[in-house]
Structure 1
Amino acid sequence: MYTVMRVKSLGYLLMAWLAFVAAPSALAASLPDFTELVEESSPAVVNISTVQAEEPSQANSFGAPNLEDIPEMFRHFFRNMPELDSHPRRAPESLGSGFIISEDGYILTNNHVVKGAKTVLVRLNDRRELEAEIVGADVRSDVALLKIDAENLPVVRIGKARDLKVGEWVLAIGSPFGFDHTVTAGIVSAKERSLANETYVPFIQTDVAINPGNSGGPLFNLDGEVVGINSQIYTRSGGFMGLSFAIPIDVAMDVADQLKAQGHVSRGWLGVIIQEVNRDLAESFGLDKPAGALVAKVLPESPAQTAGLMEGDVITSFNGRAIALSSDLPHMVGRVKPGTEVEMNLVRDGEKVSLDVVVGLLPEEKPSLNMQPEPEPATLSRLGLKVEPLNESYRDKWNLRSGVIVTEVSEGAGASAGVVSGDVITMLNGKQIQTVEQFAEVVDALPTDRSVPMRIVRRGSPLFIPLKLAE
């Protein structure tokens, strides 16, 4: 009996040992093997170095840009390396990455890698160094197209970013800190991310380790196809924190084709200023949930005005695509060819409305909307606000047709909603405000059981805020 039990015990131990030994092999078998992808794709990835034009007013004593001038949260991870000897002073050198998209020498990289460069040098996989011409660059998408004088070059295969799935494995090849052809891998964390001041790119978010020098390098899927250009990181320290952002290759190739054909990029334009719809605003506009793009201003003589779009409309879909966040709308519009007619769905006064709009051409420069008000004495209202009629000075400065000027804010619903002195109230609870007397009538009729929308113009910028009176 003892012998049988001992044999069984030894059998269990053997099985446990075999399971322990087999576990790493099983785990390894479940992870992707990147070796073939790297061998195939690395030859088409290049190192890019530039000599920048000297700008003493923007450099510190080491010839490097002041970090205070770079936004902390969303900063391009390309940086100029400091010079230890500032006498004599050299033009800053920068490092980045890129990839070859045609056998005759066209290369994609980031605009910020080559911006302000006097000379751009491309180092190939075979160690050749060639000077590159900047064919064109687009600031809004942060894409640049370069050209070197060479033939029969290795090229990457172009994929489709829209086919990516969250959780899918991706791989980056670049030159972080100047270490050529460094390979890092991770997964797609999210798609169509909108970042601050980057309204025309629906970024791919990943957790791939990206560092200074990876800028402009390719992001590959497991099929060895380029699906993005590594462009930005979210960081507090300047180093990798697990939040990396890539420009979708669909966007980049469209930009490259336009740069190659015409030297600049044409984008669609609607002509509206929009804002996010939060929970209180959704309630005030009678929406089921906080989603869509709230139209705070319709620019004069714009495609939106021609189509009949109105301030206070909430755009819920554009060209057949739903709008979850207001930041979704700009890159949807931007990718539509100017002159194309598309359908918009929106909510107006609680009712669903459909409009057809002919998308225009995005102007090179935005009109200035930042002007300072000139407060004067006023008339008291029920909201704890003092207001006065809109004068000619304000009309001319901000191109306003109607409204009342807030000249004093005391405790009350107005202050709670965030109204400040100098704001111009142009709409309240769906009513256009024409006079102080009418404003008082609208305020007297306000409900106390729910939020209502108030449209203000602050220093030239339109904004909707939810207003709720205490019971």
Structure 2
Amino acid sequence: MTRLSTFSSLTKRRTALMAGVVGLAVAGVAIGQFGYPSTPALAQAQAPLTSNSFSFADIVQKVSPAVVSVKIKKDSSSQQTAMGDDDDFGGQQVPPQIERFLKRFGLENGPQGPQGPMQRAPRSGPGERRVVGQGSGFIISADGYVVTNNHVVDGAAEVDVTTTDGKEYTAKVIGTDPRTDVALIKIEGKTDLPFVKLSDTAPRVGDWVIAVGNPFGLGGTVTAGIVSARGRDIGSGPYDDFVQIDAPINRGNSGGPTFDLSGNVIGMNTAIVSPSGGNVGIAFAIPSETVKTVVDQLRSSGSVARGYIGVQIQPVTDDLASGLGLNTAEGALVAQVQSDTPGAKAGLKSGDVVTKVNGEAIKDARDLSRKIGMMKPGTSVALTVVRDGKAMPFDVKLEQLPGEKQLASVSGKDEGTHDVPRLGLQLAPAKSVQGAGSEGVVVTEVDPRGPAATRGIRSGDVILDVGGKSVSSPADVRAGLAAAKTENRKAVLMRVKNDQGTRFVAITLDPKAG
């Protein structure tokens, strides 16, 4: 059985796109019945497009020389960690962000072939190097800078680049950014290479796009489709903002460009969805604005430094909006402000809702995280924050994002507790529970049928605030509930801390409760 026929039988796969990734995508290009605004590269002015006259050939001829095939080699000493039973990833270990992606569909055990998992490729001898992966890329400057995916070149000891005219070059990795899956490599000693430009404008849903790449190792393959959606979050990282396209994208297209009809790159192909194992026409590309921001930093310093406010945030749900007195469930809710951070220095507080950054509306917590993360440390940003129902301005100077930190878990004995029937909780002052700290009230027992349990409150959680006021005893919690009912609120807002962080929880109040 050929390798292509083997992969055509795979089912239920959602993966990255480098050579070795399973799944096929399909897009229908319906032409001939609609006119399309002319461009110099396509048709004569105002001429209606037909099945005979419409062609992408001029665009393809213009951009193809800048699209390359990227092959990587690894030292044999690294094969033990790089190779696995999952040879569908070109012999590489499944990238962490793609592994999380697979788990959402129950596919964490890797792609399956007709006879079970794909078999491991033969290993090379000591000191040898072998090709273990391949993908696509595109040249962005005449002096040889090439953009591709991080998961294409991750761990590479040697990178080879082949252009559409068959010329081969050795490239070096300038820098990578696993958070966005962007990598920058460079062909040395060249000053006259063909290159393409990253688009300055975002595409619209419904715009025609053209993908050029190296699917199945077949360099220079062209497919076409439309932009299906924008702003897609596929769970691969905190800065997901993918462009979804229906142009057929396959194994080996990872790192390849998607063009608009002016020949500008609107995105870099990264992942596909293939629940049936066949082509379903769902592919994801990193938008050009993200690629441009990351590449600029990689080119200047070899790494990416991200802005940091120093707050824990969460989405504003309908219940939280009601508890906060907001008209709409939009913005990012500040669950906790860490001490001695830009947010604390600027005066942000728990319970604030960030609604704008530099005058641009914030849709949700992910939107705020992405916008701030794409800014450089030292940048001053103007935040609009809603506090106690009033919009307030704050100027924050960003610092560099530090490493991730874990909060200590909370545990304690069930002693000296007091019942709060309306929440279904047994509570105790944090000071009375060893290891719980000095602030708040510890949850020592939860009624699984109570309203608090349905909102995710668990034993060991520490309630810090109720209705915007700090609590230190069960009596304070009762007072907060009573105040919320007096104000005719439909829900009470509680700030809760556990080993996962600090968050706000809105619990609906029973109007019949006394």
Common topology (TM > 0.5): yes
Task: Give the equivalent residue in structure 1 for 2:165.
Answer: 126
Task: Give the equivalent residue in structure 2 for 1:403.
Answer: 440
Superposed displacement of residue 316, structure 1: 0.8
The 1:465/1:324 distance shift into structure 2, 3 A limit, reads same
3-state secondary structure, aligned to 1:227: strand
Task: Give the equivalent residue in structure 1 for 2:84.
Answer: 59
Superposed displacement of residue 134, structure 1: 0.5
Superposed displacement of residue 353, structure 1: 1.9
For structure 1, the residue ranges without an aligned partner over 5 or more in a row are 1-21
Worse-superposed segment, 84-93 or 126-135: 84-93
1:47 and 2:69 correspond: yes
One-letter code of the match for 1:467?
A: I
Task: Give the equivalent residue in structure 1 for 2:220.
Answer: 181
1:254 and 2:327 correspond: no
3-state secondary structure, aligned to 1:441: helix
Superposed displacement of residue 426, structure 1: 1.0
Structure 1 contact 194–328 (Cα < 8 Å) conserved: no
1:208 and 2:247 correspond: yes
The within-5 A match list for 1:278-427 is 278-363=317-402, 365-369=403-407, 371=409, 373-377=411-415, 378-382=417-421, 383-391=423-431, 393-395=434-436, 402-410=439-447, 411-427=449-465
The 1:29/1:325 distance shift into structure 2, 3 A limit, reads farther
Query: C-alpha offsets along residues 116-170 of structure 1, whole Å, 9 cap, x if unaligned?
Result: 1122111112212222111111112211111113424443331435342221111
Worse-superposed segment, 441-450 or 408-417: 441-450
**Percentage of matched positions with identical amino acids:** 38
- Work out the CA distance in 2 between the residues paired with 1:175 and 1:388: 62
Task: Give the equivalent residue in structure 1 for 2:17.
Answer: none
Structure 1 contact 384–412 (Cα < 8 Å) conserved: yes
3-state secondary structure, aligned to 1:28: coil
3-state secondary structure, aligned to 1:211: coil
Q: TM-score, normalised by structure 1?
A: 0.85
1:269 and 2:315 correspond: no
The 1:279/1:299 distance shift into structure 2, 3 A limit, reads same
The 1:247/1:437 distance shift into structure 2, 3 A limit, reads same
Structure 2 contact 323–489 (Cα < 8 Å) conserved: no
The 1:312/1:384 distance shift into structure 2, 3 A limit, reads same
Worse-superposed segment, 82-91 or 351-360: 82-91
Superposed displacement of residue 375, structure 1: 4.7
- Work out the CA distance in 2 between the residues paired with 1:33 and 1:389: 72
- Work out the CA distance in 1 between the residues paired with 2:455 and 2:69: 52
- Work out the CA distance in 1 between the residues paired with 2:364 and 2:52: 36
Query: Please, what is the CA RMSD of the aligned residues?
Result: 3.2
1:38 and 2:60 correspond: yes
One-letter code of the match for 2:404?
A: K
- Work out the CA distance in 1 between the residues paired with 2:197 and 2:139: 11
One-letter code of the match for 2:507?
A: L
3-state secondary structure, aligned to 1:204: strand
Structure 1 contact 373–459 (Cα < 8 Å) conserved: no
Task: Give the equivalent residue in structure 2 for 1:16.
Answer: none
Superposed displacement of residue 329, structure 1: 0.6
Superposed displacement of residue 198, structure 1: 2.1
One-letter code of the match for 1:438?
A: D
One-letter code of the match for 1:204?
A: V
Q: How many residues align?
A: 444
Worse-superposed segment, 301-310 or 162-171: 162-171
Structure 1 contact 60–66 (Cα < 8 Å) conserved: no
- Work out the CA distance in 2 between the residues paired with 1:371 and 1:349: 31
- Work out the CA distance in 2 between the residues paired with 1:61 and 1:192: 30
The 1:275/1:31 distance shift into structure 2, 3 A limit, reads farther
Structure 1 segments (4+ residues) deviating >6 Å: 22-27, 87-90
Structure 1 contact 54–92 (Cα < 8 Å) conserved: no
3-state secondary structure, aligned to 1:407: strand
One-letter code of the match for 1:49?
A: K
3-state secondary structure, aligned to 1:252: helix
Superposed displacement of residue 27, structure 1: 6.4
Query: C-alpha offsets along residues 200-246 of structure 1, whole Å, 9 cap, x if unaligned?
Result: 35322222222221110111110011122112224435765333222
- Work out the CA distance in 1 between the residues paired with 2:497 and 2:279: 40
Task: Give the equivalent residue in structure 2 for 1:7.
Answer: none
Superposed displacement of residue 24, structure 1: 10
One-letter code of the match for 1:229?
A: M
Task: Give the equivalent residue in structure 1 for 2:16.
Answer: none
Higher RCO by CA contacts (8 Å cutoff, separation 6 or greater)? 2
Query: C-alpha offsets along residues 261-309 of structure 1, whole Å, 9 cap, x if unaligned?
Result: 2121122111111111121111111111111111112122111111111
- Work out the CA distance in 1 between the residues paired with 2:313 and 2:229: 24
3-state secondary structure, aligned to 1:162: coil
Worse-superposed segment, 62-71 or 179-188: 62-71
Q: Which has the larger radius of gyration?
A: 1
3-state secondary structure, aligned to 2:210: strand
Query: C-alpha offsets along residues 102-129 of structure 1, whole Å, 9 cap, x if unaligned?
Result: 2221111011100011221111122122
One-letter code of the match for 2:454?
A: S
- Work out the CA distance in 2 between the residues paired with 1:194 and 1:47: 27
Query: C-alpha offsets along residues 298-354 of structure 1, whole Å, 9 cap, x if unaligned?
Result: 122111111111111111111111011221111211233322222111221222222
Task: Give the equivalent residue in structure 2 for 1:15.
Answer: none
Query: C-alpha offsets along residues 346-402 of structure 1, whole Å, 9 cap, x if unaligned?
Result: 221222222121122222x11123635345332211322001111475456xxxx62
- Work out the CA distance in 2 between the residues paired with 1:203 and 1:161: 16
